[in-house]
Amino acid sequence: MGRGVVRGEGTGRHSQEDTEAIQSLRGAHVLLVEDNEINQELALELLANGGITAKTAENGQLALDVLSSGEVFDGVLMDVQMPIMDGYTASREIRKQEQFKDLTGYCYDGQRDVR
């Protein structure tokens, strides 16, 4: 989201750099695009614990609709495999729109990170 990348070591401790990145994300507002309710609940809880607010959309088409509503987001977290419109297609459509040129988005398919 343009504010830093956090990589945990799995130890429960964070480096000074990680701590600063986490702190810089507090107050961010993201669009979470995920069709699985359990994954949505987990992601929303993790985001909230980090001081990040989120709005959800269940597929890529709904994500485009939400983004077109005028609500401002600091970033988009997008699933790849979803019904109606997948994350790849939605990401390509988002990137075509000038008003989203500064919006950071990530798709994750469980095997690779797509930016």
Residue 80's pLDDT band (cuts 50, 70, 90): confident
Output the six-digit token pair for 65.
């609709």
Section 37-53 average pLDDT: 93
- pLDDT value of residue 12: 59
Q: Note whether residue 9 is domain-resident.
A: no
For residues 91 and 37, which has the higher predicted lDDT (pLDDT)?
Answer: 37
Cα–Cα distance, 94 to 111 (Å, whole number)? 22
Q: How many domains does the chain have?
A: 1
Q: What is the pTM of this model?
A: 0.74
Burial class (CB in 10 A: 0-12, 13-18, 19+), 24: middle
Residue 109: what pLDDT?
Answer: 56
Residue 59 lies in a domain: yes
Residue 3 has pLDDT above 90, yes or no: no
**Could you tell me the residue range of the domain that residue 81 belongs to?**
28-114
Q: How many CB atoms lie within 10 A of CB 15?
A: 12
Residue 6 resides in a domain: no
Which CATH number do you get for residue 101? Answer: 3.40.50.2300
